[in-house]
Amino acid sequence: MKLPAFFIAHGSPLLALEDNEYTRFLERLGQDLEAPRGIVVFSAHWDSPEQLLTVDGQHETLHDYYGFPDEMYSLTYPAPGDPALSRRIAALFKDNNLAHQPVLGRGLDHGVWVILNKMFPEANIPVVALSVDSLRSPQEQYDIGRMLAPLREEGILLIGSGGLVHNLRLLKQDDQPEEWATEFDAWVAEELDSWNLPELFAYDKKAPHASSAVPSYAREHFVPLFYVMGSADEGRKAQRMIQAYQYGTLSLNCWMLD
């Protein structure tokens, strides 16, 4: 059973409470997928110069945000971990000479659990979270994802969780997207459709409005795309499954990579 990989935007943490087009899409996606044996998530909210991975047998839920309604701090996603899967990932990293460190007791950040809570609300599928390094080159990020490609043939679902357009300083009161945001997303879509790695790897210089869509302080939200693209290097097929926006400058999209 070879599963596709996905880039999934996690948007605002409030998605955990919302019922809208995007959350309903995530619910359907989880129902339509063949049940994975485990889930591995590269999270934008775990940015580290060292490659880190969780090794817990049971995860706690991180409420790594502030200023939200009280209900947001009572939500939990008590998914199990899978130490054997963590060891398998560590072995793949070792085989490819990638320095890495196991992390015990971190919990799942909202970049992981908000989307999984919609896709797999029973929280009964083991999860391993992986860090990203927003300062690595796109090629390096892609190559790390490629190291994990064998997992897709072992019933493991690989997800990159972030946001292609993620500018918190330009948020609006409504969801009508800014024109520059849609133009950036359209550029990414065109290059993804043709798997144009040279252009995508140079997005900060080539894409329209890149500095607004991916400001320097939010680069970690864009780079999970490269990690999961690497895991689909053999097939190099990309399909955008949904496109929506939150607050005008947060892009909500899901790309299936195979």
pLDDT tens figures, 141-199: 999 999 999 999 999 999 999 999 999 999 999 999 999 999 999 999 999 999 999 99
Overall CATH class of domain 5-257: alpha beta
Full DSSP string of the chain: -PPPEEEEE---GGGGT--SHHHHHHHHHHHHSPPPSEEEEEEEEEE-SSEEEE--SB--B-----S--GGGGT-----B--HHHHHHHHHHHHHTT--EEEE-S--B-HHHHHHHHHH-TT--S-EEEEEE-TTS-HHHHHHHHHHTGGGGGGTEEEEEEE-SSB-GGG--SS-PPPHHHHHHHHHHHHHHHTT-HHHHHTHHHHSTTHHHHS-GGGHHHHTHHHHHHHHTTTT--EEEEEEEEETTTEEEEEEEE-
Q: Is the pLDDT of residue 118 over 90?
A: yes
Q: Is the pLDDT of residue 71 over 90?
A: yes
Separation of CA 142 from chain center: 14
Ramachandran area for residue 63 (φ above 0: left; ψ -120 to 50: alpha; else beta):
beta
Mean pLDDT of 106-130: 98
| The predicted structure's pLDDT at residue 102 | 98
Q: Residue 1's pLDDT band (boundaries 50, 70, 90)?
A: confident
Minimum mean pLDDT among 48-52, 59-63, 152-156, 170-174: which range?
170-174
Q: Is the pLDDT of residue 14 over 90?
A: yes
Mean pLDDT of 81-103: 98
| The predicted structure's pLDDT at residue 201 | 98
Beta strands 156-162 and 100-103, pairing class: unpaired
Q: Residue 258's pLDDT band (boundaries 50, 70, 90)?
A: very high
